[in-house]
Amino acid sequence: MKNPTKKDLDIIEKLVQKEQKAADHILPEEKLRARLKYRLFQERKKRRFLLRYRKPVFVTAGIVAAAILVFMVLIIGKQTAFLSFEKQIASFLENSAGIKTLAQWEELLRHRTESTQISATVFLQHIRKTFEEAREKALSENQDSLVLRKPQKPIFDTKRRMEILFEEKAVHRFLHRFMLEKKEEKNG
Amino acid sequence: MEESSNTFLKKTLLEDLLDFSGKVYKICLGFARNPWEAEELMQEVYLKVMKNLNSLHDTEKKREWLFRIARNTCLNHCRRERLYKNLLFRFAGFHNDHPSPERHLMRNEQYRIFKRSVHNLPLKMKEVFVLYTYGHLSYSEIADFLGIKEGTVRSRLNRSRRDILTSLKGEHHEKPDKKGS
């Protein structure tokens, strides 16, 4: 095709003009501008909302809060992870070896159950079981073994403590009363 | 204090740039298929402008900067569109659910051929054609803007016009023959 003449160019020009006119009719410039401004405003608002939290105060506060949360998780995790149930009972027994009164027992038990988040019933059942196992073991060992000389270290130190505890009437009375209360609660 | 003054400057700059929205819209219209698509493109352009206001160092060249963003956005749009050309042609073409006088133009066969031929132009030719015909920029402005020689602008524009006219005349003349046959 040869170079376009003026007449040819007019065709294009007219088409473009018509298109622009039609577009202006469909979306008038004022409307277009208003919609554009609205969208920009919305976007700016969004960005502002996010930027508000980019200030150093919020960032620091966020970091501190996260650190505290991590520490708390670690501490709680440690308590539950490193103190197994057996260890908890052992420490409980060790700590309570010399306690004889009911009030002291109650106080100690409440404290232990609250701090370890374990129900008192479960705790007491485990104590009972441990007591019985320890007593049977201690009795059988005492019967079978022949002690020729006095051991340098007390072998049955913990077991002995358990035995003492087991024989204590106060503990028995307490456990008995506790279990009765629980049963009554269950039966309504 | 400094931050607030900076925000104010940005706001005024954006206001200034909004004054060119009409021209940006026209450029977008040249690249787009319909006014709605052009509006979308224009909004996209201004969103980019708002996000990248910090990168505008020379405020005297804000107009060129704005048009460059518009041109890049439109070209990206065209490239993206070519990937799923057929789908778009079928589903996102002209909206036919709006019975109004301006629909007449949209339904006009000559206009449709013209629009299709503009759309099918190679991107290099298309951008020159749109910037000249729709954006009403001068040869020198386009040359500066695209970083090419003025002669190249002229030749590209000439070629694009020829292509458009060929398809306009060719398809226009072919039609009666087809009907006749």
Asked if B47 lies within 8 A of A43 by C-beta distance, the reply is yes
pLDDT at position A14: 85
Chain B residues near residue A18 by CB distance under 8 angstroms:
105, 111
Cβ of B165 within 8 Å of Cβ of A27? The answer is no
Chain-chain contact of A16 with B133 (C-beta, under 8 angstroms): yes
pLDDT classification of B152: cutoffs 50, 70, 90: very high
> Does the pLDDT of residue B94 top 60, yes or no?
no
Predicted TM-score (pTM) of this structure: 0.53
State yes or no: pLDDT of A68 exceeds 50. Answer: yes
Does residue B29 belong to the interface with chain A, where contact is any CB pair within 8 Å? yes
pLDDT digit string (tens) for B114-139?
Answer: 888 888 889 889 989 999 988 888 89
Is B50 close to A43, i.e. CB distance below 8 A?
A: yes
Whether ipTM > 0.90 holds is no
Give the rounded percent of residues in chain A with a pLDDT score beyond 70: 36
Higher pLDDT, B107 or A148: B107
- pLDDT-derived band at B58 (thresholds 50, 70, 90) equals confident
Q: What count of CB pairs under 8 Å joins A to B?
A: 80
Range B78-90 average pLDDT: 63
Select from A3, A8, A36 the Cβ nearest to the Cβ of B46: A36
**Of B117 and A83, more confident:** B117
B165 contacts in chain A (CB < 8 Å): 1, 4, 8, 11-12
Distances (CA, A) of B18 to A28, A34, B10, B49, B109: 15, 11, 12, 10, 34
How does residue B153 score in pLDDT terms, banded at 50, 70 and 90?
very high
pLDDT of residue B11: 75
